[in-house]
Structure 1
Amino acid sequence: MTADPTTVRAGSGGKPPKATSAPLAPGAVVPAATPAARGGEPHVTRPQDYDAVLLLGFGGPEGPDDVMPFLRNVTAGRGIPDERLAEVAEHYHHFDGVSPINAQNRALREALAAELQRTGPALPVLWGNRNFAPYLTDTLHEAHEAGHRRLLVLATSAYSCYSSCRQYREDLADALQATGLGEHLEIDKIRVFFDHPGFVTPFVEAVDAALVELAGRGRTRVQVLFATHSIPVGDAERSGPPELDLGPGGAYEAQHLAVGEAVMSRVSVPQGLVVGSQLVYQSRSGPPSQPWLEPDINDAIAALAAADDRPDAVVIAPIGFVSDHLEVLWDLDNEAIETATDHGIDAVRVPTPGVDPTFVAGLADLVRERVEGRAVEERAALTDLGPWNDVCRPGCCANARRPFSPVLAGVAP
């Protein structure tokens, strides 16, 4: 018999083991879902009351002693030796062992809670991480002890692939089993929001400002580099629902390309400036034998420098990220800017949405979308790919290297 979760905090204080099952209500096809989402329709158009919003983050170290435990959590099950992790750890130690991501999520939590209080629904905003404190298991316990029974999860990732969506849903299943709260909590997840105006508009405004700045410096040829995290090609091919044919890069690449096009179609190019754009990747971490999405941003800058029509400046727009966390600061502000400088190319890196009021208002709109059960045709989306599914489809965003694990917010497997 499962222990009473009000008296025993099972599974708290760390990253939980992989779940072996996920709770499924009678007649439901979506584990642990609210009544509105249990039937498995791609878009949930029935209104649903929630008790709280759960901001689900990646997590990061907040001191030198946290770095290696954090990296072991991130890479658990992948067999990566500590020697390799120590190399990555140096990036964190460059910032005194502190990742900015937790502070950014604290700020986002406060901003979203204030926006929901202002515009409704006035729901509390909780915060839990996948890979470091505050751990998701502890947050689920806190939610239950506060009397919350229906949670709407907002993951801090805007796109579809294993590492940016399905792995979050696996971790929800892991935490639910580890805490013993499967019979006590119902959990839905907000759709990936890559093309919601609240996410796209801050990039439009930031690229606009960067182009004006570069024009003021006398630049005439500019390339906008839309940067995102590289992933294994096999995972990219499997991103999104299996029945969709969105090209060799799957939904992940298609969504990023669509966002880049949405941004470029809305920027105002200063007179006398010739502007092009391309999608580039960063932060590759796999072995050399494993193909990952390319081109790497540094290779792309080198190729631009060698071209006959070389630009005299680049704008780096990190559209793959919601905040200026360590991979943005290290891989872009250090490595990519240094590469551009070495090749005699001016470079401006624009900010991520962070707590931009437009972004925060967009997240609040996504909460209302689910509370209202808003009709699909009334939902905000700036590309032909959206609005994306509320409930992930069977086999969506499979991991090419692992068997399916239990997940929430989607139809099995």
Structure 2
Amino acid sequence: MFPKETAYIIANFGGPRNLTEIRPFLETLLTDPDVIRTKWPKFMQEWLFKKIAKRRAKKIQKDYKKIGGKSPIFQDTENLAYALSEKLDKKVLTFHRYLPTTHQNFIDEVNQLKVDEIKIFPMFPQFSYATTGSIARFFSKHFEEQTLRKMRWIKSYPGSSHFINSYQKKIEGLFLEKDLKQDETMLLFSAHGVPEEFITSGDIYESECQISFQRIMQKFPYVLGKLSFQSKFGKGEWIKPYTEKVCHSIDDLSQGRKNIIIVPLSFTSDHIETLYEIEYEYVPILRNKGYQVYRCPALNLDPNWISSIYELLKSDDLLTNPMLIRKPLKEKN
């Protein structure tokens, strides 16, 4: 038999490439029924959350200006795909979930592929129906069955040695750079939060964050660790503890340690949640309490991470397709 001809897709969140893209980015995000779940008819949800997106876009422009007037996630994802295509010697496409102006070109590129299989690597180590599940739903809506049958997903990799070792090396680099000692340091792992309702309805995201947290902590036996969740949106309850509240109560948790490293556990790419929210909202709280605080960068284009993705893509160990899409999704018109 001839070997399979394979193409690859790197699927990421997407982010505004300039200030004018903030609003359409937010509109696409907030009208995604896998992200914002209501019992309202579709037209009503879209009308309301487009209004919210318009207001929020104006509000957070100043935040984006502080990090350079754009999110780096788009270009980092493109650069990552290029590096992987060089290593794999294969076609590597990129999908940016909440950048709508990129979608048609991506769909056309996929439809033009002449391959036997398409391996999909989501840049979300811990599975959620609101991230990887949303991407899977988008694909199911926009591709024919013959194309969907070729797709094979690396659904998640929360405990993969490749992912764990990549973050281990990132953290070890900070220990070395800042001359920190393990027994004088606390690692605060901050993952993106989701509503509690997501978890009670079957989402495995929180348990997979726990897996990643525990596996990384095993690499640092003398470090104190804490897992928390950030980026709460809206009035409902989200999974806890909240990163902001942990920062405010850090004196009760740090056991006298004066060095804190904030690790963006669920983020493989830096963007507004790490470059602004962690850097400008959480770090100052801790510094004002007298701690030496360091934000660990996300994995981004780290050579160890690129090599890790390469190894994951070359292996079939984590490939799976079941349970990617949340069901049932009632779409009322």
Structure 1 residue 263: Cα displacement: 1.2
Unaligned runs of 5+ residues in structure 1 are 1-46, 118-122, 241-250, 270-274, 371-378, 380-386, 406-413
Per the alignment, residue 170 of structure 2 pairs with 206
Structure 1 residue 268: Cα displacement: 6.5
Percent of residue pairs bearing the same amino acid type: 18
User: Is the Cα–Cα contact under 8 Å of residues 162 and 312 in structure 2 kept in the other structure?
Assistant: no
- Structure number with the bigger relative contact order (C-alpha 8 A, sep ≥ 6) is 1
User: Is the Cα–Cα contact under 8 Å of residues 166 and 308 in structure 2 kept in the other structure?
Assistant: no
Q: How far apart, CA to CA, are the structure 1 residues paired with 2:61 and 2:322?
A: 34
Q: How far apart, CA to CA, are the structure 2 residues paired with 1:259 and 1:116?
A: 27
Would the alpha carbon gap of residues 336 and 184 (structure 1) be closer, same or farther in structure 2, given more than 3 Å must change?
closer
User: Is the Cα–Cα contact under 8 Å of residues 189 and 213 in structure 2 kept in the other structure?
Assistant: yes
Structure 1 residue 276: Cα displacement: 0.9
User: Is the Cα–Cα contact under 8 Å of residues 63 and 97 in structure 1 kept in the other structure?
Assistant: yes
Would the alpha carbon gap of residues 184 and 168 (structure 1) be closer, same or farther in structure 2, given more than 3 Å must change?
closer
Per the alignment, residue 38 of structure 1 pairs with none
Per the alignment, residue 88 of structure 1 pairs with 60
Per the alignment, residue 61 of structure 1 pairs with 16
The correspondence for 2:271, drawn from 325, 338, 343, is 325
Q: How far apart, CA to CA, are the structure 2 residues paired with 1:307 and 1:128?
A: 40
| CA RMSD in angstroms, aligned pairs only | 2.7
Q: Which has the higher helix share?
A: 2
What are the Cα deviations for residues 15-74 of structure 1, in whole angstroms up to 9, with x where unaligned?
Answer: xxxxxxxxxxxxxxxxxxxxxxxxxxxxxxxx9824411112221111121111111111
> What pairs with 1:326-345 in structure 2 (closer than 5 Å)?
326-345=272-291
What are the Cα deviations for residues 66-123 of structure 1, in whole angstroms up to 9, with x where unaligned?
Answer: 1111111111246322223432344223335311001110111012112213xxxxx2
SS in 2 for 1:135: helix
Per the alignment, residue 252 of structure 1 pairs with 205
Structure 1 residue 148: Cα displacement: 4.5
Q: How far apart, CA to CA, are the structure 1 residues paired with 2:285 and 2:111?
A: 49
Would the alpha carbon gap of residues 253 and 157 (structure 1) be closer, same or farther in structure 2, given more than 3 Å must change?
same
Per the alignment, residue 188 of structure 1 pairs with 152
When normalised by structure 2's length, the TM-score is: 0.83
Bigger radius of gyration, 1 or 2? Answer: 1
Per the alignment, residue 91 of structure 2 pairs with 124
Q: How far apart, CA to CA, are the structure 2 residues paired with 1:308 and 1:206?
A: 22
Structure 1 residue 146: Cα displacement: 4.9
Would the alpha carbon gap of residues 85 and 174 (structure 1) be closer, same or farther in structure 2, given more than 3 Å must change?
farther
Would the alpha carbon gap of residues 188 and 345 (structure 1) be closer, same or farther in structure 2, given more than 3 Å must change?
same
Residue identity in the other structure for 2:60: V
Per the alignment, residue 186 of structure 2 pairs with 223
Per the alignment, residue 234 of structure 1 pairs with 197
Q: How far apart, CA to CA, are the structure 2 residues paired with 1:281 and 1:305?
A: 18
> What pairs with 1:273-292 in structure 2 (closer than 5 Å)?
275-285=223-233, 287-288=234-235, 290-292=236-238
Q: How far apart, CA to CA, are the structure 1 residues paired with 2:103 and 2:164?
A: 28
Structure 1 residue 201: Cα displacement: 0.7
What are the Cα deviations for residues 219-249 of structure 1, in whole angstroms up to 9, with x where unaligned?
Answer: 9632211111010001123345xxxxxxxxx
User: Is the Cα–Cα contact under 8 Å of residues 219 and 312 in structure 1 kept in the other structure?
Assistant: no
Structure 1 residue 308: Cα displacement: 8.3
Residues 1:110 and 2:82 aligned together = yes
Would the alpha carbon gap of residues 217 and 397 (structure 1) be closer, same or farther in structure 2, given more than 3 Å must change?
same
Would the alpha carbon gap of residues 235 and 88 (structure 1) be closer, same or farther in structure 2, given more than 3 Å must change?
farther
Segment drifting more, 167-176 vs 355-364: 355-364
Residues 1:99 and 2:71 aligned together = yes
Would the alpha carbon gap of residues 152 and 343 (structure 1) be closer, same or farther in structure 2, given more than 3 Å must change?
same
Q: How far apart, CA to CA, are the structure 2 residues paired with 1:317 and 1:162?
A: 23
Structure 1 residue 183: Cα displacement: 4.6
User: Is the Cα–Cα contact under 8 Å of residues 124 and 268 in structure 2 kept in the other structure?
Assistant: yes
What are the Cα deviations for residues 286-338 of structure 1, in whole angstroms up to 9, with x where unaligned?
Answer: x22x1001222221122112558343121111110111122110111221111
Unaligned runs of 5+ residues in structure 2 are 32-44
The correspondence for 1:156, drawn from 98, 113, 123, is 123
> What pairs with 1:63-78 in structure 2 (closer than 5 Å)?
63-76=18-31, 77=45
Would the alpha carbon gap of residues 224 and 284 (structure 1) be closer, same or farther in structure 2, given more than 3 Å must change?
same
The correspondence for 1:362, drawn from 289, 294, 308, is 308
Residue identity in the other structure for 1:280: S
Structure 1 residue 365: Cα displacement: 2.2
Per the alignment, residue 410 of structure 1 pairs with none
User: Is the Cα–Cα contact under 8 Å of residues 235 and 398 in structure 1 kept in the other structure?
Assistant: no
SS in 2 for 1:162: coil
User: Is the Cα–Cα contact under 8 Å of residues 59 and 131 in structure 1 kept in the other structure?
Assistant: yes
Q: How far apart, CA to CA, are the structure 2 residues paired with 1:391 and 1:182?
A: 14
Segment drifting more, 193-202 vs 358-367: 358-367
> What pairs with 1:124-143 in structure 2 (closer than 5 Å)?
124-132=91-99, 135-143=102-110
Q: How far apart, CA to CA, are the structure 1 residues paired with 2:59 and 2:161?
A: 38
Instruction: Count residues in correspondence.
Output: 312
Residues 1:263 and 2:216 aligned together = yes
Structure 1 residue 358: Cα displacement: 2.6
Structure 1 residue 134: Cα displacement: 5.8
Residues 1:403 and 2:329 aligned together = yes
Structure 1 residue 193: Cα displacement: 1.6
